[in-house]
Amino acid sequence: MELFDRLSDLRTISQSAELNKRLEILLTDFLVCARAGSSSADIESIGARLAINSNYHDADDIDWSVMTHPGSIMWAALIDSLIRLPENSKNFLVSAYAGYRTSATSAQYFGASHRKNWHVTTTAGTLAATSAACAYRDLSSSMHTSALENAAANMGGIAVADRRTGAAIFNRAAATTLGLLAATSDQPSAQNIWDGERGLRNLLSIAGENTQTYDGISTASLRLFPYSGFIQSQNLAITQLAQRLSGDLISIELGIHPVTMELLNGSVGGSYWDYKYGAASAWQVKDVTQCVEAKNDVLEKISSKAIEIPISGAEVTITTSNGSDSMRIEIAPGNDFDSAQEKQWREAKWQRLVGKDYLEAESFAQLLLNNQANKNAIKSLQEFLLA
C-alpha cells in the first residue's frame, strides 16, 4: 500500500528547529496531562496507563484539521518504548516526527466519511503508535510497513463510544497497545487489506482521496482552558467581552457549530458537557483559565443558535445595562506556540494540573528531544509519570 510505504520511509521526514520547538511543547503538555491523570485500573502496560492518564482531564492535544487527539496515543507508545529500550533513546526525536506524521496523514486519507462512523483518534492513533514504536526500534522500512498492515487490519473504535461518558478513554489505551504489539510482534501481515467487499476501504468507510503527506506537528494544538475543546473559543470570547463591558448582565447570545450544540447540550456527562454551563462560568469568573459553578441567574440569560462556523469556533454577543459588544473567534487558541499570550495560558494550564511540577516536565522534554537523556533520567521520568 503506497500510504504505508510513504509513512515507513523515515528518510522523507523533514525536521526543523521550528517543529522541534513545537514538539518540546507538545511533549511537555503530554507529560503534564499524564502526571495529572489518575486511574484506578490495574494495568501492567505502561503505554496503556499513560494513554488513559493523559486523557483523564480531557486536556490532551488536538488536531482540529482532522479531529484527532494524536499525542495521548503516540507519546504513550513512544515513552513505553523508551522505558523498555533506553539504549535506543537517540531515536526519540525522529520517532516523534514519525508518529505525528502518520497520525495526520492517515486521518486525512481516511476522510470525513470515516470519521462519521469511526473514532478517528483511535484508528489514526493506532497507526501513529505503530510508526513511533517502529521508528524507535530502528525497524527496516519493510518491517515498519508490515507492522502498519497488521495494525490496520486490527484497528477499530466505533464512533458511538461516547467521549462524554469517558468511553473514548479506553480507545486510546487500546490503540496504544495495538500499535506497540504490531511494532514488536514480528508477525507476517495480511495482504490486500484495502480493497474489495471485506477490505478496509469498504468496512471503515475510508475515502482515500487525500494522498498528501502531513507533518502533523504544525497542526497539533493544545487545549488550554478547563473546558471542553468545543467551547474554548466561546469561553475565551465571553471572558474578553466581560472585561470590556460594565453593568448588569442582560443577555449572552451564542452562535456555535451544530455539532457543538448537539454534543454539549448537557444531556450526557454532566455540566462539563454543557456549553451554557461553560458560558455562565466564563462570564462569572472573567478569566478563561478558571472554571466555577454556574449560577442559575446567569444561565437563564443565555440563548444559542447553530451557525456556519468552524467546529472549534464561536460567535458571542453580550448585552449589559451599559451596552452591547460582539466577538467572533473561528479557530480555537492553542496552536500559536510563539504567542506570549498562549505561553501564559499554557503555563496556567500546567500549573492548574500539576503545580510547579510542570517545570520538571519541561526539563524531561528538553532532555529527550535533544538526545541528552541517560538511563537515570529515563528512570526518573518513569517515576515522575507512574509513581
The residue extents of the domains of the chain are: 2-223+340-386, 229-329
Where is pLDDT greater, at 335 or 168?
335
pLDDT digits (tens, 9 = 90+) for 319-362: 999 999 999 999 999 999 999 999 999 999 999 999 999 999 99
CATH number attached to the domain at 229-329: 3.30.1330.120
Determine the pLDDT at residue 1: 63
The pLDDT assigned to 96 comes to 99
Among 205, 106, 115, 113, which Cα is nearest to 160's? 115
Q: What is the pLDDT of residue 167?
A: 79
**What is the chain's mean pLDDT, rounded?**
96
Query: What sections of 286-357 are H helices per DSSP?
Result: 296-299, 340-354
Between these two residues, 2 and 221, which has the higher pLDDT value?
221
pLDDT at 121 over 90: yes
pTM assigned to the model: 0.96
pLDDT digits (tens, 9 = 90+) for 189-206: 988 899 999 999 999 999
- CATH architecture for the domain at 2-223+340-386: Orthogonal Bundle (1.10)
pLDDT band at 44 (very low <50, low <70, confident <90, very high): confident
Domains 2-223+340-386 and 229-329 share a fold: no
Q: What is the pLDDT of residue 166?
A: 79
